[in-house]
A and B are shown apart, each in its own frame.
Chain A
Amino acid sequence: DQQVKQNSPSLSVQEGRISILNCDYTNSMFDYFLWYKKYPAEGPTFLISISSIKDKNEDGRFTVFLNKSAKHLSLHIVPSQPGDSAVYFCAASAPGGTSYGKLTFGQGTILTVHP
């Protein structure tokens, strides 16, 4: 039972345009969501996170939107750059205590930004 799903295996975008990466989850106990970027042969790099008490968080070119009622989150990258080409993972964590930081990951979406 996959609790975090990224249904689009790949996304292709033109440089300068918006990239929108989507993620759905099934576990209503998740209260913190994170996005990571991963290049081949490297570890995941933390991009941005959002708590369930918010519906939007921005950091530079990256904005994450959370729709709790739909159990859906999305990452917007504006404007997209060729260096953004990587695999993007969303991840979720249940509330504090010993579950804090135990991340459940989606399968990833390969983003390709064309010059």
Chain B
Amino acid sequence: NAGVTQTPKFQVLKTGQSMTLQCAQDMNHNSMYWYRQDPGMGLRLIYYSASEGTTDKGEVPNGYNVSRLNKREFSLRLESAAPSQTSVYFCASTRTSGFLEQYFGPGTRLTVT
């Protein structure tokens, strides 16, 4: 039982390049989320998927797109990376009922030069 996994762990991009961050969970959770964390700040929600087939914007969606590929996988795409997107990205998942417990992956550290 791996929980939430993310790939890659580290990535360096040049301005204007694109990339996709991958996330998968094996807890059979319906909802999945992408957050970013900048130095000295808490995590901020980029996009989320309340269930398979649905996605919606969070607090800071500009410059990102997402795909909920199936119940297990939720990817985050940067179409044209900018230095302002240098951050640590975390994927998370949660059940949609009962006690709220949200579980996070190990993160992807992205640097855009």
Of B41, B43, B56, the contact of A103 (CB 8 Å cutoff): B43
In-complex Cβ contact of A46 among B35, B102, B107 (8 A): B102
Q: Check A42 against B31 for contact (C-beta < 8 Å).
A: no
Interface residues in A, total, Cβ within 8 A = 25
Q: Does B106 count as interface, using CB distance less than 8 angstroms?
A: yes
A101-B96 contact, Cβ under 8 Å, with A44-B43, A44-B90, A108-B42: yes
- B50 contacts the other chain (CB 8 A): yes
Interface string of A5-42 (1 = CB under 8 A from B): 00000000000000000000000000010101000011
Q: Which of B41, B42, B43, B90 has the largest count of A CB atoms less than 10 A from its CB?
A: B42
Q: Tell me the bound Cα distance from A41 to B103 in angstroms.
A: 16
Tell me if B33 and A101 are in contact (CB < 8 A).
yes
Does A102 lie within 8 Å of B33, measured CB to CB?
Answer: yes
> Please, how many angstroms separate the alpha-carbon atoms of A101 and B42 in the complex?
16
Across-interface contacts of A91 in B (CB, < 8 A): 42-43, 102
Interface hits, A48-86 → B, CB 8 Å:
49, 51
